[in-house]
A and B are shown apart, each in its own frame.
Chain A
Amino acid sequence: MSNEEQLVTITSQDGVGVPCKKEAALLAGVVKNMIEEEDEDETNITEDLKLLKVTGETLKKVVEFLEHHVDEPMETLSETPLQMTKLGECVGPEWYVKFADIDREEMFLLVKAANYMDVPPLLDLMCLAITMTIMDKSPEEVRGIFSKVNPSLAAPPQAAEADVEAAA
């Protein structure tokens, strides 16, 4: 069986198993390492690909991304300095823009997952998406975005006002 047809099942920390094409799964550095190790041991690779830091819901999204990326790779259309304020103008094709149109909390979870699973294109996409949500926002709005993920960030830093005065 070729890589394209072969399926592997990746299991999340909460025990949800998500099937994924092997070719797509190899895009994730962590999974690739696991598969390579198992290949060396000549064990059954469809078993026991468990990720300890990714939840089932997030894992499904990552797999969705990986499988689409195999068929239609993502293109980054804009480098720094970003001239655009919409994600659609920075990445292509359109599927990726729709994919990134998710809750902010989910966005941060995907960043973590992409970083843990070593999926650079997903990390790039999510970082761009987060950048777009932060751009041209006031400190209070940015704090609001981060505090949803981490409530301890809801309080402003000391003397933030002093900085604002100096810069304004």
Chain B
Amino acid sequence: MNDSKTSSSAKRAKLSHDESSAENKQEVVKHFQKQVLCEDALAQVLHYLHPRDLLRMSETSKALREYFTTAIIVTSAMIHGGHGATTIKELYKLMKDCSIHIPSPMRLLRLINGKRCEVCFHNKVNHVRPKTGVFACWICLTGEESSVFASNHTLHALPQQQQPLTRSHRTNLAKYRKNKKYEAIFSHSRVACNGYTKDTYVWNRKRAALPNTGDDETEEWIGPLVCYNDIDRMANESDRDIDTYITEELDAPQKEAYNEFVSVYEETEARAKREAQLRQEEKKAKKQKTIDNKLAKIQKMVLDLQALLDDRWSEFATSHKILPSWRMNRPGKYPIVDFHIGFVNDSLKPYVISPSKLKKKILKDIANQINENFGYIFESDFLSFHFLSDDGVEGLLKQKCMEHISSLESWREQRIFSLEIFELLKQEQYFQCLCMIERSIWSKLGFSSLLYCDIEEKLQKRYHLDTLATRVWDEEVESNQIKTLENLQTTVDICKEKVRHLMKVLEEYLVWKQKKEGDRDDGRDINVSLGHGTYSFADLLNKDFDSVYTQETHWTGLWG
């Protein structure tokens, strides 16, 4: 009885306090209108402002704050886009369902301009959390720290005394499954909850925004209307339905009170979309302009560089390609052009990212270095391969080199010219230099044919051997890099032995295949499986012919 008396007197006191504060506000507003700006003018000024400026304005005077309406703030946030617009979008979903406490205009302003969690004031947040409408970090929302901390050690932990904002009902328990009312509660539009696997998360307890700000006369409730304990109470209520419980017990606002926000959102939505599209197009055009400007600057840089280089290699040294479009997305961070020559690319990379940083002196230094390095190639007459004799393996290598890589242009597509190569040239270590040019040069030179030149006669089809020899050679070169002439000779000998052994296995396989297929031999070729099936080659070495045969069939099916 006493409780009810206290409660009613408190309500009366609150009511009279509300009335007097409303009168005060009216006074303040009138004073402001008289002294500073009339209502129409101020409304127009506010209509032009960005949410960030609105926040600053609100910090200027109490009188000004009274002008901030939900409509002004929602419209400004939606039209100006960014995280503020996302916040309004998330709030709209909840406001439409009437499932959260209605945010005051000042709270809306704080939400759309927020940067840090409104609970811990530390962790970075971009926009309000869906399903709750609060500006909170994941840790404050769920209390789950382990997974988040693993990726970011600068985050603040949840204080020990503080409970997370949400709490879960384990809805797979019998209690929830037996009482059908739970299902109705969790699916009710005014109950903001989030189901995840066997848990359904709801607002933990009633909570006020920014306690003790001293500014607002009354506390402002934030987050969803329905809290953890309300769920069980609602389920056990026999007299009242969910809507009635929410209105009577939770002191929830009438549904009409949500209309202002919802209608402003819906009226502004189409315009906001148009603005967002325009912004996106402008951004795209701006980026394209940046890229075009940068490409023009790079082109000029290349022409300036070419003018400083020797004619024999000026074009070759500055050959480049424009990189794919994904690189273009961040032209200030990644180079958008790639020079074919390794050390030229390394030297110019910082200036491709920021062309304005390239001064004449730097360009001259780079040109001198290029001239010096390419000078070594011509001074040492490297491209005549005079350091290789004409006999045996060396002779063959020389012949292949003369055929394939005797001019700079034949190396154009290879990023081969590292500074290390020029160091070797300076030290007259020509063979090491040749080996460094690129590992794949050995395949390019067609060295594999050397490995089966004396056993070619024994097999019906030459390309079986060619496939085998190429595979053997590539694997050997991959695992054992050739750096000296002796090394080359040894590698050739090892590979020859391997090919000789493998050839016998291959012959056995062909005989086996002939037996298996008999008259049904449809001419399927082992070359197919060897060329494409990595495992079939290994299986062949293990003499697992069945496996090779199966794969061969498969590949024939695919490629035949």
Question: Which residues of A are interface residues toward B (Cβ below 8 A)?
Answer: 80-82, 108, 111-112, 114-115, 123-124, 126-128, 130-131, 134-139, 142-143, 146, 149-150, 152-153, 156-160, 162-168
- Name the residue of chain A whose CB is nearest to the CB of B52: A136
Which residues from A are CB-within-8-Å of B213? 159, 162-163
Closest A-B pairs by Cβ, 10 of them: A139-B59, A150-B35, A159-B215, A127-B44, A131-B48, A160-B59, A143-B60, A115-B38, A167-B113, A159-B213
Which residues from B are CB-within-8-Å of A150? 32, 35-36
- Chain B positions 47-63 with a Cβ under 8 Å from a chain A Cβ: 47-50, 53, 55-63
- Name the residue of chain A whose CB is nearest to the CB of B38: A115
CA distance A146 to B113 in the complex (A): 23
- Name the residue of chain A whose CB is nearest to the CB of B39: A115
Identify which of B40, B57, B62 contacts A134 (C-beta below 8 A). Answer: B57
Nearest CB on B from A39, distance (A): 28
Q: When the two chains form their complex, are residues B49 and A131 in contact, meaning their CB atoms are under 8 A apart?
A: yes
Which residues from A are CB-within-8-Å of B56? 134, 137-139, 142
Q: When the two chains form their complex, are residues B48 and A146 in contact, meaning their CB atoms are under 8 A apart?
A: no
Number of B interface residues in the complex (CB < 8 A): 41
Q: When the two chains form their complex, are residues A135 and B115 in contact, meaning their CB atoms are under 8 A apart?
A: no
Known A123-B44, A136-B53, A150-B36; contact A157-B118, beta-carbon cutoff 8 A: no
- Chain B positions 33-87 with a Cβ under 8 Å from a chain A Cβ: 35-38, 40-41, 44-45, 47-50, 53, 55-65, 79-80
Identify which of B31, B37, B44, B115 contacts A108 (C-beta below 8 A). Answer: B37
Is B210's CB within 8 Å of the partner chain A? yes
Q: When the two chains form their complex, are residues B45 and A131 in contact, meaning their CB atoms are under 8 A apart?
A: yes
Known A131-B48, A162-B213; contact A126-B121, beta-carbon cutoff 8 A: no
Nearest CB on A from B123, distance (A): 13
Nearest CB on A from B206, distance (A): 19
Identify which of B31, B59, B113, B275 contacts A156 (C-beta below 8 A). Answer: B59
Which residues from A are CB-within-8-Å of B106? 163
Is B560's CB within 8 Å of the partner chain A? no
Q: When the two chains form their complex, are residues A123 and B113 in contact, meaning their CB atoms are under 8 A apart?
A: no
Nearest CB on B from A142, distance (A): 5
Which residues from B are CB-within-8-Å of A166? 110, 114, 116, 118, 121, 210
Known A81-B275, A146-B61; contact A134-B53, beta-carbon cutoff 8 A: yes
Q: When the two chains form their complex, are residues B214 and A81 in contact, meaning their CB atoms are under 8 A apart?
A: no
Q: When the two chains form their complex, are residues A111 and B79 in contact, meaning their CB atoms are under 8 A apart?
A: no
Which residues from A are CB-within-8-Å of B53? 134-137
- Chain B positions 87-133 with a Cβ under 8 Å from a chain A Cβ: 106, 110, 113-116, 118, 121
CA distance A157 to B210 in the complex (A): 16
Apart from A115-B40, A150-B35, 11 more pairs, CB < 8 Å? A81-B80, A128-B48, A135-B49, A136-B53, A152-B31, A156-B60, A157-B65, A158-B62, A162-B213, A167-B55, A167-B113
CA distance A135 to B52 in the complex (A): 9
Most A CB within 10 A of own CB, among B40, B48, B60, B79: B60
Identify which of B36, B37, B110, B275 contacts A163 (C-beta below 8 A). Answer: B110
Which residues from A are CB-within-8-Å of B65? 157
Nearest CB on A from B526, distance (A): 69
Nearest CB on A from B440, distance (A): 54
Q: When the two chains form their complex, are residues B110 and A167 in contact, meaning their CB atoms are under 8 A apart?
A: yes
Most B CB within 10 A of own CB, among A81, A108, A137, A157: A81
CA distance A142 to B36 in the complex (A): 13
Identify which of A128, A137, A157, A159 contacts B61 (C-beta below 8 A). Answer: A157
- Name the residue of chain B whose CB is nearest to the CB of A166: B110
CA distance A157 to B63 in the complex (A): 9
Q: When the two chains form their complex, are residues A134 and B210 in contact, meaning their CB atoms are under 8 A apart?
A: no
CA distance A99 to B272 in the complex (A): 33
Q: When the two chains form their complex, are residues B59 and A134 in contact, meaning their CB atoms are under 8 A apart?
A: no
CA distance A120 to B555 in the complex (A): 80
CA distance A65 to B3 in the complex (A): 67
Q: When the two chains form their complex, are residues B215 and A135 in contact, meaning their CB atoms are under 8 A apart?
A: no
- Chain B positions 288-331 with a Cβ under 8 Å from a chain A Cβ: none
Nearest CB on B from A13, distance (A): 15
Most A CB within 10 A of own CB, among B40, B48, B62, B110: B48
Nearest CB on A from B229, distance (A): 28
CA distance A108 to B44 in the complex (A): 13
Q: When the two chains form their complex, are residues A163 and B55 in contact, meaning their CB atoms are under 8 A apart?
A: yes
Q: When the two chains form their complex, are residues A162 and B215 in contact, meaning their CB atoms are under 8 A apart?
A: yes
